[in-house]
Amino acid sequence: MRAELVRRLKRWQGTALPIAQAALAAGLSWLVATSVVGHAHPFFAPIAAVVCLGVSLGQRLRRVVELVVGVSVGVGVGDVLISVIGSGPWQIALVVALAMSTAVLLDGGAVIALQSGSSAVLVATLLPPSAGGGLDRMVDALVGGLVGLAVTALLPANPLTVAHRQSKAVFGELATALRGVADAVADGDAVQAAGVLARLRGSQDAVDDFRTALQTGGEIATIAPIRWRSRGDLARYEAVAAPVDYALRNTRVLARRALAALRDNEKMPAVLPDVLRQYASAVEVLRAELVRGEEPRRARAAVRDAAAVATPRQLGGEGFSTKVVLAQVRSVAVDLLQATGLTRAEAVESLPPLSRKTEG
């Protein structure tokens, strides 16, 4: 029971800042709408503020626009129809259907369509056309969205905290997979290789979360002056995101072909497990250098050293799956070198030549 309570408290601590932001934005938006704008019951202002802050941490600027557009479409359609056909169960159903259809036909996103529907419902039930509430609700939506953005700027989360946490998950998945394939090859264990492959197939969620964290961090660093210093570190993370994603994908192919090679009893080079373990260590070094805000020179050198044996002579193989594995070893090296800041051409030039004649 105590362990469960501690777990829940830690989960709450992780969301305490977003909760505080939403609460503050809701209260301030009501205050601004009543005291500054002069609306008596601006119930939609706090709703808009909470939606802007709470649905997702990314793309808040776009969400403010979507909210205002959605409100406008819903109120407009609702005002026109309710003034003609009146209010009732079937009228509400018709108004919602037409308002959401209009939003979709205008190429609106999910937020616009849903907001159009909810606005139409409120017009049909609480705000009859004669009340003149349509324009007021549009203003309330704008007030709530702008207050939400202001709270984000004045009380921002640390964008690097989320980036560090999500990068740990992504880099951890990659390092664990590389070591898992190395152990499976060293032990000749096809079952172990199958387990690594199964885990890799679910690794895309970690990559997607990482990209979302970077998008969110970039937004915070743009609108929050006290977080402007984070933009350089975030840029380094953004440069790493795509190469690490490719490295995970190539490792997935490597694991798949390693599994096939083990099942077919193909003989793989004895140095292969050591190369993959060195890659895994280089991945961990790369993440540590990113966390410290350093140029990833040590990680770059580690990848180059590990890939130095990736020559036809030392990684020769006869079976089809083994040859694919060895090709992926070089592909993963290129991805990791690009993650350290090299261009693709520079990364390829850093690897040993493929030609046996050139090698000799």
Q: How deeply is 223 buried, as exposed, middle or buried, from its count of CB atoms within 10 A (0-12, 13-18, 19+)?
A: middle
Overall average pLDDT of the 63-83 stretch: 73
Task: Report how far apart, in Å, the C-alpha atoms of 327 and of each of 184, 221, 261, 353 are.
Answer: 18, 40, 14, 12
Instruction: Name the one residue in this structure whose structure tokens are 């261009």.
Output: 343
**Same domain, yes or no, for 149 and 172?**
no
Overall average pLDDT of the 15-19 stretch: 76
- Alpha helices, DSSP H, located in 86-203: 89-105, 110-125, 133-154, 159-187, 190-200
Of 120, 154, 188, the position where a domain reaches its end is 154
- Tell me: pLDDT of 314 over 70: no
**Same domain, yes or no, for 190 and 290?**
yes
In angstroms, the CA 148 to CA 262 distance is 56
In angstroms, the CA 234 to CA 55 distance is 23
- Tell me: pLDDT of 210 over 70: yes
Of 121, 154, 187, the position where a domain reaches its end is 154
**Same domain, yes or no, for 195 and 342?**
yes
> Residues 336-359: pLDDT tens digits?
999 999 999 999 888 877 654 444
> Residues 163-209: pLDDT tens digits?
888 889 999 999 999 999 999 999 999 999 999 999 998 888 889 88
3-state helix, strand, coil in the chain (%, to 5): 80, 0, 20
**φ and ψ of 352, to 5 deg:** -60, 150
Task: Report how far apart, in Å, the C-alpha atoms of 118 and of each of 76, 124, 174, 233 are.
Answer: 12, 10, 44, 41
- Tell me: pLDDT of 100 over 60: yes
Q: Which residues contact 235 (CB under 8 A, 6 or more apart)?
A: none
Residue 150 binned pLDDT confidence (cut-offs 50, 70, 90): confident
Cβ proximity of 104 and 56 under 8 Å: no
In angstroms, the CA 124 to CA 55 distance is 25
**Same domain, yes or no, for 337 and 288?**
yes
Overall average pLDDT of the 151-170 stretch: 82
Maximum pairwise Cα distance, the chain: 89
| DSSP character at residue 36 | I
Overall average pLDDT of the 42-50 stretch: 81
**Same domain, yes or no, for 33 and 108?**
yes
In angstroms, the CA 173 to CA 96 distance is 45
> Residues 265-280: pLDDT tens digits?
888 888 889 999 999 9
pLDDT score at 183: 95
Tokens of residue 298, six digits: 């040590």
**Same domain, yes or no, for 176 and 163?**
yes
**Same domain, yes or no, for 208 and 337?**
yes
Instruction: Name the one residue in this structure whose structure tokens are 């050198």.
Output: 301
In angstroms, the CA 126 to CA 271 distance is 73
**Same domain, yes or no, for 195 and 236?**
yes
Of 106, 138, 154, the position where a domain reaches its end is 154
Domain that holds residue 150: 2-154
- Taking phi over 0 as left and psi of -120 to 50 as alpha, with beta for the rest, 86 belongs to left
**Same domain, yes or no, for 181 and 93?**
no
Task: For residue 296, count other CB atoms closer than 10 A to its CB.
Answer: 25
CATH label of the domain that carries residue 300: 1.20.58
Domain count, the chain: 2
Residue 31 binned pLDDT confidence (cut-offs 50, 70, 90): very high
Cα 265 versus chain centre, distance: 40
pLDDT score at 310: 67
**Same domain, yes or no, for 202 and 109?**
no
- Tell me: pLDDT of 131 over 60: no
Q: How deeply is 257 buried, as exposed, middle or buried, from its count of CB atoms within 10 A (0-12, 13-18, 19+)?
A: buried
**Same domain, yes or no, for 203 and 336?**
yes
Residue 56 binned pLDDT confidence (cut-offs 50, 70, 90): very low
**Same domain, yes or no, for 268 and 338?**
yes
Q: Over the chain, what is the mean pLDDT?
A: 81
Q: Which pTM does this prediction carry? A: 0.67
